[in-house]
A and B are shown apart, each in its own frame.
Chain A
Amino acid sequence: MMNYSITALFWLATATLLLGLWKRTKLWRAGQPAEFAWLNLLAIPKRYFVDLHHVVAREPFIARTHVATAGGAVAALGLVAINYGLMLYCAALNWAILAATAIMLIGVFFVWLRRRNAPARLSRGAWSRLPYSLAAFALGLLIVNLPVTVLSAGVAVFALLLLLVGSAELALGIGLGGPMKHAIAGLLHLAFHPRQERFSGKLSTALMTLDLTNQEYGINKPSDFKWNQLLGFDACVQCGKCEAACPAFAAGQPLNPKKLIQDLVLGLSNDEKSGKTDANFAGSPYPGLPIGEHSGSMHAPIVPSLIEAETLWSCTTCRACVQECPMLIEHVDAIVGLRRNLTLTQGAAPGKAPQTLENLRQTATVGGYDRNARYHWAVDLDVKTIQPNMPVDLLLVAGEGAFDMRYQRTLRALVKLLKAAKMDFAVMGALERDTGDTARRLGDEATFQSLAKQNIDTFNSLTFKRIVTADPHVMHSLKNEYPALGGNYEVLHHTTLLAQLASSGQLKLGKSAETRKLTYHDPCYLGRYNGETDAPRDLLKAIGLQVNEMERSGLRGRCCGGGGGAPLTDIPGKQRIPDIRIQDARNIGAELVAVGCPQCTSMLEGVVRNRPDVLDIAELVASVMEHAS
């Protein structure tokens, strides 16, 4: 009797789950078509155990908890499928099920333990019931598999009820959008992830190119996302790791990447007429924006009824959220996609952004400068300016920092080092146009593409082997985003090149006389966007400086606040992002912050005294040369 009930329950739950999945699939399919391969379903186990677990394992406690809970559950369900689903009712399998449920119960106990002292980033609401419903499932299954021949009727009914409650959580999740939705959507997301390169160990950080001639103007409503992006949003487990990493959230600006993803989930799953608001969201709100006042649906414009524009304009595109997300969700793609629509169809970028975009269109510089003046800082350094028919090894692309008197010191230091290493190099002179990086982050794909095409034409008319730049934003555009438009170059950050030259002995370095306590701030566009965290540290080590790491460093470094056009849109918050970063440096007692980016330099130097000094690595290295000579 008992066995038959479980078999019935199993198939009922399976049918419910499939029905729910079918319902949810219909929602995802309202999105735009995207290329995908069914075969990737086979890659799920590898992607789960390697790529996803790689992220989860940063927090060993929760990693082990999840392994026990999910592993136990999956094993138990598999065994139940065989034993009860196929009606084998074999005693040995009962034992195996017992073991699996016991492991699961232990896992659930730790889930419960953690929920008692949950960090603020975790969502409550439906998620708070999860330890109980999972425990019900595990306990129910455990009892019915106990090796006693006769259970008292009361216990048997109780156990079946527990099992029913637990199975409901598992089976209804995907269809009703409950917490267990993450298991199904998460696994499918691993198979059909919009950035498949991520699973081949490569960085995938370039924004997708819009086909403007085909009137692709970004995301206006949820159904404008690709279907696999919608699926990705559904994978979110509301762990809030993105929230905890987000500099804009920390600064009290109205952005919370977790809430943003949940708003999109609300948008994709909401019935047009229900008018359901975000009131059910049980996590931290967007700072300063109350919950319960926004609503949206699949075919309704997202901004401003579902997400406010200022939320989108707060983002620095630092990718810290993407770096932290255990479900490999791509927040920045969503944010830039929404920005693109605002900028391209309404010209609605706030603050100084419109002026900047106009400057880029009309002068090919961010600040509206004369392009002929870009290399004025090099006038006394006897640097070659590249011309067609003048082959050089190395092309130095200075970027917008060349117009900034502070950053010119860095560039001069770099030129001196390149000369000391006897490099055959030239600058671009008046031929250099802005890469369009800022325009692209601000959603102005048209201006980006027009600048990129002009730059690619210029590069094609020149002969050089490699490009070096001191600006990671320039590097990211040229190296990662120009290929989609037909420009393929070998692009090096100046710290990478200098580290190579130093280790090969082509650049002879002494030891630095610097005695101040030093730390290094990783630029997001060098670290997370280009994976370069070693060269700057190697270089500092080569000149005898010890790097004291801040609380967040390397690939998990905290943003300076300067990326993504955020200083231009300048959305008010409670504090400024660079102040937070400088506080990180103060906390470890650093007196000197080494940087490798013009944006970081100006953001961190913009913090009022008393603060650690800010010097580019090129300046530090060049000062060693001066002492030596």
Chain B
Amino acid sequence: MSIKNIVALVSAGRHPISGQARHCRNDSLAMTIGLALTSDLNAENANSVNLKVIHAGHAKNAALTDYLALGASQIDVIPALENADIVDSLAENLKNVDVILMGSRAESGQDSGLLPYLLAEKLNYSLVANVLTIKQTTEGIEALQFLPKGKRRSVKVTMPTVIVIHPLAPVQLRHAYARQANGHISQFATQTPTQESKYSCTVEWQTQSTIRKPNKLKAKENKSGHARMLSATVSENKGGAVVNDGNSVEKAQVILSYLREHRLINF
């Protein structure tokens, strides 16, 4: 199956220190991967696949110009209406798309990190998370997934699909002013919301200071450098014991004596 339509969803980020509007790095990675895939496809079989870059929000948002500089020649902005759920507005515009790319990390504001999942559910598309690289194969596309401890997994993806890019994707972002100056940001016509959002944003947001997080009890380790390296890279080598025998009181006793032994509790 050949890919015809690719979309990258980009969101507006803010610099954590200066608060200045900027691109969201993770989405930029996704977009750059999309651009590379598109140009590969176009190089192979001369049919013109286009990467559409879509943002739900406001066309005036200063963060968007970053995406132009990073390679988007055009950004289509779907207006984020009050009362409307952006999942609905996005889904409305993402029918008949083969691949939807986006970053996986919520960065600020109302980001929850759930958008890809809600979108995939709504559109009934497959979803692959934590993707590092994608490449086209004869049957479709293959994605390399990030797993902890240096492991990777290659998965065949059925299209249409939502692909969520991992922050560690090996992509070099290139910010070029000339592209920013030549790019366009265009706004979709405003639509009236078809239905009231179930994840409505209109509720008053409350802010409160964060609560101190509970400290994790951790035994002091006296392991050699080699052992620490192993436990960081080899998943079987965590150390400790797995207790399968005995009833729940006996199991609890094992934990209690562990904690006492390492002076993590003193009673």
**What residues of chain A have their CB less than 8 Å away from a CB belonging to chain B?**
212, 215, 217, 343-348, 354, 357-358, 361-364, 368-371, 444-447
Q: Name the segment of B49-57, B81-89, B169-177 touching the other chain.
A: B169-177
Q: A212-B181, A215-B181, A362-B22 are in contact. Are A344 and B17 (CB under 8 A)?
A: no
Q: Which residues of B contact A358 (CB under 8 A)?
A: 175
Residues of A contacting B: mostly: helix
> How near does chain A come to B74, taking the closest CB pair, in angstroms?
18
Q: Which residues of A contact B174 (CB under 8 A)?
A: 346-348, 354
**A347–B69 touching, CB < 8 Å:** yes
Q: How far is A369 from B173 in the complex, measured between Cα atoms in Å? A: 21
> How near does chain B come to A371, taking the closest CB pair, in angstroms?
7
**B17–A357 touching, CB < 8 Å:** no
Q: Which residues of B contact A447 (CB under 8 A)?
A: 177
Cβ-closest 7 pairs across A and B: A347-B174, A446-B177, A347-B176, A363-B18, A362-B15, A345-B178, A347-B175
**A370–B177 touching, CB < 8 Å:** no
> How near does chain A come to B17, taking the closest CB pair, in angstroms?
5
Q: Which residues of B contact A370 (CB under 8 A)?
A: 17-18
Q: Does B20 contact A (CB under 8 A)?
A: yes
Q: Which residues of A contact B176 (CB under 8 A)?
A: 343-348
**B175–A354 touching, CB < 8 Å:** yes
Q: How many residues of B contact A (CB 8 A)?
A: 17
26 A–B contacts from the bound complex (CB under 8 Å) = A212-B177, A212-B181, A215-B178, A217-B177, A343-B176, A343-B177, A344-B177, A344-B178, A345-B176, A346-B174, A346-B176, A347-B174, A348-B176, A354-B172, A354-B173, A354-B174, A362-B20, A363-B15, A364-B18, A368-B17, A369-B17, A370-B17, A370-B18, A444-B177, A446-B177, A447-B177
Q: How far is A358 from B18 in the complex, measured between Cα atoms in Å? A: 12
Residues of B contacting A: mostly: loop
Q: Which residue on chain B has the smallest CB distance to residue A447?
A: B177
Q: Which residues of B contact A368 (CB under 8 A)?
A: 17
> How near does chain B come to A359, taking the closest CB pair, in angstroms?
9
Q: Which residue on chain B has the smallest CB distance to residue A346?
A: B176
Q: Which residue on chain A has the smallest CB distance to residue B14?
A: A362
Q: Which residues from 166 to 215 on chain B have a C-beta closer than 8 Å to any C-beta of chain A? A: 172-181
**B17–A363 touching, CB < 8 Å:** yes
Q: Which residues of B contact A348 (CB under 8 A)?
A: 174, 176
Q: Which residues from 99 to 134 on chain B have a C-beta closer than 8 Å to any C-beta of chain A? A: none
Q: How far is A357 from B180 in the complex, measured between Cα atoms in Å? A: 15
Q: How far is A345 from B174 in the complex, measured between Cα atoms in Å? A: 10
Interface centre among B20, B175, B181, by most chain A C-beta atoms within 10 angstroms, is: B175
> How near does chain B come to A89, taking the closest CB pair, in angstroms?
65
Q: Which residue on chain B has the smallest CB distance to residue A445?
A: B177
Q: How far is A446 from B177 in the complex, measured between Cα atoms in Å? A: 7
Q: Which residues of A contact B179 (CB under 8 A)?
A: 345, 347
Q: Which residues of A contact B178 (CB under 8 A)?
A: 215, 217, 344-345
Q: Which residues of A contact B180 (CB under 8 A)?
A: 446
> How near does chain B come to A351, taking the closest CB pair, in angstroms?
11
Apart from A215-B178, A357-B175, A370-B17, 18 more pairs, CB < 8 Å: A344-B177, A344-B178, A345-B179, A347-B69, A347-B173, A347-B174, A347-B175, A347-B176, A354-B173, A354-B175, A361-B22, A362-B20, A362-B22, A363-B17, A363-B20, A364-B18, A368-B17, A447-B177
Q: Which residue on chain A has the smallest CB distance to residue B22?
A: A362
Q: How far is A290 from B181 in the complex, measured between Cα atoms in Å? A: 38
Q: How far is A385 from B257 in the complex, measured between Cα atoms in Å? A: 60
Q: How far is A420 from B77 in the complex, measured between Cα atoms in Å? A: 59
Q: Which residue on chain B has the smallest CB distance to residue A345?
A: B178
Q: How far is A7 from B178 in the complex, measured between Cα atoms in Å? A: 58
Q: Which residues of A contact B175 (CB under 8 A)?
A: 347, 354, 357-358, 361
Q: How far is A345 from B179 in the complex, measured between Cα atoms in Å? A: 7
Q: How far is A369 from B18 in the complex, measured between Cα atoms in Å? A: 8
Q: Which residues of B contact A346 (CB under 8 A)?
A: 174, 176
Q: Which residue on chain B has the smallest CB distance to residue A443?
A: B177
Q: Which residue on chain A has the smallest CB distance to residue B180?
A: A446
Q: How far is A347 from B176 in the complex, measured between Cα atoms in Å? A: 4
Q: How far is A568 from B181 in the complex, measured between Cα atoms in Å? A: 26
Interface centre among B22, B172, B174, by most chain A C-beta atoms within 10 angstroms, is: B174
Q: Which residue on chain A has the smallest CB distance to residue B17?
A: A370
Q: How far is A344 from B18 in the complex, measured between Cα atoms in Å? A: 24
> How near does chain A come to B159, taking the closest CB pair, in angstroms?
31
Q: Which residues of B contact A369 (CB under 8 A)?
A: 17
Q: How far is A361 from B62 in the complex, measured between Cα atoms in Å? A: 12
Q: How far is A217 from B178 in the complex, measured between Cα atoms in Å? A: 7
Q: How far is A371 from B15 in the complex, measured between Cα atoms in Å? A: 13
Q: How far is A217 from B181 in the complex, measured between Cα atoms in Å? A: 11
Interface centre among A215, A345, A347, A364, by most chain B C-beta atoms within 10 angstroms, is: A347
> How near does chain A come to B201, taking the closest CB pair, in angstroms?
26
Q: Which residues of A contact B70 (CB under 8 A)?
A: 347
Interface centre among B17, B20, B180, by most chain A C-beta atoms within 10 angstroms, is: B17
Map CB proximity to A onto B1-33 as digits: 1 under 8 Å, 0 otherwise: 000000000000001011010100000000000
**A371–B18 touching, CB < 8 Å:** yes
